[in-house]
């Protein structure tokens, strides 16, 4: 996806794109390449592939919600921070919290934010399950992109979501995973609203956006430690 194609498909999402935002994305790409030589941020480094599989893919979250109507979003297990920082570029008024257990990745994200002059971002170096116990029901939207299986993500992320807010997972094909989450939603206070399925342009890889509403308070024992979640995920 070259820049002209990127602009077209972003506008098809009803997002207005400015020359400043394009400049910010290009700086982001350059920093990604530079830091990726020092640490493993992504295996996708070719210019057009980054614009398609990272930048555009991050923006598809708006297929599930209007980011103009919320004030706070948390991005869990951000890695090179897709979608968090991309969303911040296009929605600068959005208050974003980025959570990652890898401090080197947090350092990279801070440098990106500084170079792109992005404000009102909180960077958290912590495991999500620890952060969730002191920040329960603080966010309008919590999102995670290709971090773990759905049943694990729901326990990690749903406790952070405000009542009537949403956990939105950006995934590939979830046809098998969606069958494993019914009971965990019941336990954790969530309700599956919808799954939006589509293919990325050009390469046609499958994408799924899983939108889960928080309808009840999550019991205080959740989330459990990651070892317990992984060893015995809620089913």
pLDDT over 90 at 84, yes or no: yes
pLDDT over 80 at 149, yes or no: yes
pLDDT over 70 at 79, yes or no: no
Mean pLDDT of 145-168: 93
Instruction: Name the pLDDT band for 23 (thresholds 50, 70, 90).
Output: very high
What's the pLDDT at 8?
96
Task: Look up residue 131 and give its two tokens.
Answer: 């952060």
Task: Indicate the SS3 state at residue 73.
Answer: strand
**Which domains does the chain carry?**
3-231 (3.40.50.150)
Instruction: Name the pLDDT band for 6 (thresholds 50, 70, 90).
Output: very high
Q: How many CB atoms lie within 10 A of CB 45?
A: 14
Buried b (16+ CB within 10 A) or exposed e, 153-165: bbbbbbbbbbeeb
Are 210 and 169 contacting, i.e. CB atoms less than 8 angstroms apart? yes
Q: Which tens digit of pLDDT belongs to each residue from 88-130?
A: 999 999 999 999 999 999 999 999 999 999 999 999 999 999 9
Q: Count the helices and strands in the chain (H runs, E runs).
A: 10, 7
Least confident of 97-101, 173-177, 228-232: 173-177
What's the pLDDT at 78?
60
pLDDT over 70 at 152, yes or no: yes
What's the pLDDT at 176?
86
Alpha carbon 89 to chain centroid distance?
14
Cα three-residue angle 144-141-216, rounded to 5 degrees: 110
Are 7 and 17 contacting, i.e. CB atoms less than 8 angstroms apart? yes
Are 112 and 35 contacting, i.e. CB atoms less than 8 angstroms apart? no
pLDDT over 80 at 180, yes or no: yes
Q: What are the two backbone dihedrals, phi and then psi, of residue 43, each rounded to the nearest 5 degrees?
A: -90, -10
Name the nearest CA neighbour of 155 among 209, 223, 217, 216. Answer: 223
Task: Look up residue 189 and give its two tokens.
Answer: 């206070």
Q: Which of 35-49, 85-99, 174-188 has the highest mean pLDDT?
A: 85-99
Return d(Cα 224, Cα 221) in angstroms, integer. Answer: 7
Mean pLDDT of 227-235: 90
Mean pLDDT of 129-137: 96
Q: Which tens digit of pLDDT belongs to each residue from 194-217?
A: 999 999 999 899 999 999 999 999
Task: Indicate the SS3 state at residue 135.
Answer: coil
Return d(Cα 195, Cα 142) in angstroms, integer. Answer: 16
Return d(Cα 123, Cα 99) in angstroms, integer. Answer: 6
Q: Which tens digit of pLDDT belongs to each residue from 57-75?
A: 999 999 999 999 899 999 9
Instruction: Name the pLDDT band for 175 (thresholds 50, 70, 90).
Output: confident
Q: Which residues contact 50 (CB under 8 A, 6 or more apart)?
A: 29, 32, 42, 44
What's the pLDDT at 80?
67
């Amino acid at each position: 996806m070259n820049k002209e194609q990127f602009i077209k498909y972003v506008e098809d999402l009803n997002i207005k794109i400015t020359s400043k935002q394009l400049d910010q994305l290009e700086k982001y790409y350059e920093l990604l390449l530079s830091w990726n030589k020092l640490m493993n941020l992504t295996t996708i480094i070719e210019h057009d592939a980054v614009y398609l599989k990272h930048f555009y893919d991050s923006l598809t979250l708006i297929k599930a919600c209007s980011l103009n109507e919320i004030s706070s979003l948390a991005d869990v297990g951000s890695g090179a921070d897709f979608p968090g920082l991309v969303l911040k570029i296009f929605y600068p008024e959005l208050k974003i919290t980025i959570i990652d257990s890898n401090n080197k990745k947090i350092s990279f994200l801070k440098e990106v934010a500084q170079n792109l002059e992005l404000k009102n971002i909180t960077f958290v170096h912590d495991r999500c399950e620890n952060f969730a116990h002191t920040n329960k029901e603080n966010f309008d939207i919590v999102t995670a992109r290709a971090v773990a299986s759905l049943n694990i993500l729901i326990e990690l992320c749903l406790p952070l979501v405000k009542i009537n807010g949403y956990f939105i997972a950006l995934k590939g094909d979830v046809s098998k995973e969606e069958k494993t989450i019914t009971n965990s939603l019941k336990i954790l206070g969530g309700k599956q609203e919808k799954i939006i399925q589509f293919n990325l342009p050009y390469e046609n890889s499958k994408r799924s956006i899983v939108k889960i509403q928080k309808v009840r308070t999550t019991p205080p024992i959740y989330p459990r430690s990651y070892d317990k979640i992984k060893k015995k995920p809620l089913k």
